[in-house]
Amino acid sequence: MANKSPDESPGDGSRRDRAAIAAQACQTCRSRKSKCDEQRPKCGLCTRLGVECIYREPQPTKKDKTLVHILNILERVESKVDRLGMPATSQRTVPSPQSRSEMSLTGPAATWEQVENETKQQDIRSETYLPTDLISASTHLTAAHKVLVWPAVFLLLTNARVSVINDLHHIMQTGTPWFTHLELQKHSTPLPSACSTSSVLSPSVPSHSLAPGIAGLTADRIRLLADAYFDTFNVLHPILDRDTFYSDILTPVIRGGYEDRDTQACLAMLVLALGSIAIEGVSGAPIFPNTHSTSGLRGGSIEEPPGLQIFNEARRRLGFVMHTCTLENVQIYLLQAAYYEACARHMDFWRSCAAASMSFQVYIRCERIDWSSAKADLIKRVYWTCILNEDLYHLELDLPRTGIYTLEDQIPLPSFQQSRSISAHESEESSHYHYHFLAMIALRRLIARIHASLHSDINAKAESSEDYDGPPIHLVNELARQLESWRTYLPQALQWSDADMHSFPNANPLARRQPAPLFTVEDNNNPATHRYNLDVVTGHLRTRFYYARYMIYRPFVFKALHFPESMTPEDASYCALAVQSACLWPLAMSPCKNKKRLVPHLFTWTQNFLGILLLMRMTSESECLRQICEGRVSMRDMQLTVGLMLDWINDMKIVDGIAEWSWSLLEPLFRGWR
């Protein structure tokens, strides 16, 4: 769509359009006060004059600065928390928050020599970011799995004579890799290479031609699938630019066909496969009839998920393009990872994420990047998506990291430059989801610090009966303050309070809130379709917040179970806050639970639901914990939470190895609870 001239838009729209043009004009057009056509590398005027065309770096807008401010707030206390949570001998010099923020916002493009030299220094700095046990390959239990071997919980499981009691002894000896083995067993074979429903390509269509489409898809159907991807998966992890994809990738592929070695065609096929999941994952038939509720795994079947035909076309060509280390190569691996995770194939997800991270590290060292360009902004988004993925699979499943986090101080936050001028309404709407991505980056840093400070093997005395000296109150209070500061400084469109945690986000502070909640306990067999995946995006952000708060205060639940005589009124209050923070997580509720293929990082929720359910069950075994909860936590919320999380694990057990094992442990423990 052609850009409108300023004269065509009255009022405020005219001023906004002129501001957008002025912000993107080159220096020559700016000095001559003439309209710039913004062509790269040279605009039309500079081409005619034969002069150098220079675009200045856009100044950070209020939107750009909002979430950067949140990240800076968290960074200011990093050294303080290091001193609180680490032994004095392990402290090392780290760059000041001011220098780090300046590097992110205003630093010039780094040469590959600088990146190499600074990476060597980052290997040392990273030891203050995460303790040794979290960056080594040593065997240990992750925080989600440690609840299983708490003495009180172990005694409960022993007395209940659950069928998997012998597995707990192996878990104590092997650690979290025991659970990884479950996943490897569950998906010991790859996704099928052929579909039973129809051939991959129409028999009358040559394999090198896209007309009339991949797997018989028409051009209209292809655009529908691409739109579905950008309205769902790309909202959560914006690794592709919509306009660039349509103009530079999809349209040429539709018109001219593709070759086996065509990187762009491979990328397009993965987008279309994910688009199939985005549609069928909401409106498709459930793949498995659950005893208590309709399955939230929709579309296709276990063996043949939605879009498998197109995905197989991409897989077949991946071998021809995987030798490169380009931005497109990294994007391909990330798209492949998203598809695997939507199918609950967690180990395939990890392999794809690791390949993306390794390719990115080679790419960033060898490429000279103009950090003010639109492509550089896409590079930033790709990098932070790699970081978000890697942190989660490492913290939850103890899977190896690639070292990509050592570049964290050298890759600025994305500013989400628009490839074209857009209306004020479009800008406001897109900003909401840009804020979400930036907010997750900031929250991810704090969650990593919570794990490092309270739940790592080195700093886990608060949940260990050996040499027990209680939770570190000063550290808990500081982490809780940081977490609440993160929420306080969120943009208005993302803010919420505990009282309205299930409400629609209030993008317009002057508008009335929606009368009905966004998240409900009641099952809805016809999942609502919210624009731009609003329910999953909102539920993801809020659930991550309550997960972080639960992990901060969980050591007080351990104390109530094992050292009730030492509980103080403050301890009891914090213990209750941990239990309340684990109740009614939005992602476990409708409509999110009915579209599980669209929920990011499925593997994280099964792990944590298992631990939370065991703690809920302990309220009937521990007099101290029961009394604390009866006076401070809603019993109804706890009962509803048990039902929601049991339904989730029961639903996932058919495709998830850890969920299958967890259900065999939980089902007898909660028999008769609902």
pLDDT tens for residues 535-544? 999 999 999 9
Band of the pLDDT at 605, cuts 50, 70, 90? very high
The average pLDDT across 180-205 equals 72
Residue 33's pLDDT is 77
Residue 429's pLDDT is 65
Residue 123's pLDDT is 42
Residue 14's pLDDT is 45
Band of the pLDDT at 41, cuts 50, 70, 90? confident
Q: Is the pLDDT of residue 424 over 80?
A: no
Band of the pLDDT at 268, cuts 50, 70, 90? very high
Q: How far is CA 355 from CA 274, 333, 389, 559, in A?
A: 19, 7, 12, 41
Residue 456's pLDDT is 87
Q: Is the pLDDT of residue 110 over 80?
A: no
Q: How far is CA 495 from CA 75, 112, 253, 437, 491, in A?
A: 21, 40, 41, 14, 6
Q: Is the pLDDT of residue 662 over 90?
A: yes
Residue 418's pLDDT is 66
- Of 342, 674, 298, 627, which is closest to residue 521 (Cα–Cα)? 674
User: DSSP alpha helices (H): ranges in 50-94?
Assistant: 62-76, 78-85
- Residue predicted with more confidence, 525 or 432: 432
pLDDT tens for residues 272-321? 999 999 999 999 999 876 555 678 999 999 999 999 999 999 999 898 88
Residue 525's pLDDT is 56
The average pLDDT across 509-514 equals 57
Span 20-56 CATH architecture: Irregular (4.10)
- Lowest-confidence segment of 170-174, 456-460, 553-557 by average pLDDT: 456-460
Q: Please state, as a whole number, how many other Cβ atoms lie within 10 Å of the Cβ of residue 197.
A: 9
Torsion of CA 375, 380, 386, 389, to 10 degrees: -120
Q: Is the pLDDT of residue 563 over 50?
A: yes
Q: Is the pLDDT of residue 138 over 50?
A: no
In the beta sheet, which residues pair with residue 590? 520
Place of tokens 């317009």: 508
Residue 214's pLDDT is 59
| 8 Å CB contact between 81 and 91 | no
| Separation of alpha carbons 33 and 22, rounded Å | 9
Q: Is the pLDDT of residue 504 over 50?
A: yes
| 8 Å CB contact between 344 and 368 | no
Backbone angles phi, psi at 388, to 5 degrees: -60, -45
Residue 42's pLDDT is 85
Place of tokens 């499925």: 602
Q: How far is CA 567 from CA 249, 552, 559, 571, in A?
A: 62, 17, 7, 6
Q: Please state, as a whole number, how many other Cβ atoms lie within 10 Å of the Cβ of residue 68.
A: 19
| 8 Å CB contact between 200 and 670 | no
Angle at CA of residue 131, ends 130 and 133, nearest 5°: 115
- Of 629, 651, 536, 512, which is closest to residue 582 (Cα–Cα)? 629
- Of 293, 400, 305, which is closest to residue 344 (Cα–Cα)? 305
Q: Is the pLDDT of residue 204 over 60?
A: no
The average pLDDT across 74-85 equals 52
pTM of the full predicted structure? Answer: 0.80
Residue 93's pLDDT is 38
- Of 657, 137, 11, which is closest to residue 346 (Cα–Cα)? 657
CA 264 to chain CA mean position, Å: 25
Q: Is the pLDDT of residue 200 over 70?
A: no
Q: Is the pLDDT of residue 463 over 80?
A: yes
Residue 131, CA atoms < 13 Å, CB-side half-sphere: 24
- Lowest-confidence segment of 56-65, 340-349, 457-466, 658-667 by average pLDDT: 56-65
Q: How far is CA 25 from CA 3, 33, 521, in A?
A: 14, 9, 52
Q: Could you check whether the bond before residue 591 is cis, i.e. omega within 30 degrees of 0?
A: yes
Q: Where are the domains of the chain?
A: 20-56, 145-178+429-503+541-669, 189-408
Mean of pLDDT over the chain: 82
Highest mean pLDDT among 111-115, 367-371, 419-423, 667-671: 667-671
In the beta sheet, which residues pair with residue 294? 289
Q: Is the pLDDT of residue 264 over 60?
A: yes
Q: Say which residues have a Cβ less than 8 Å from residue 15's Cβ, sequence separation at least 6.
A: none
Band of the pLDDT at 27, cuts 50, 70, 90? confident
* CB-count burial class (<10 Å; 0-12, 13-18, 19+) for 179: buried
| Separation of alpha carbons 317 and 214, rounded Å | 13
% of the chain with per-residue pLDDT over 70:
75
| Separation of alpha carbons 239 and 274, rounded Å | 13
- Residue predicted with more confidence, 302 or 74: 302
Q: What's the chain's length in residues?
A: 674
Exposure string for 5-36, b = 16+ CB within 10 A, e = fewer? ebeebeeeeeebbeebbeebbbebbeeeeebb
pLDDT tens for residues 207-245? 444 433 455 788 899 999 999 999 999 999 999 999 999
| Separation of alpha carbons 411 and 381, rounded Å | 10
CA 484 to chain CA mean position, Å: 20
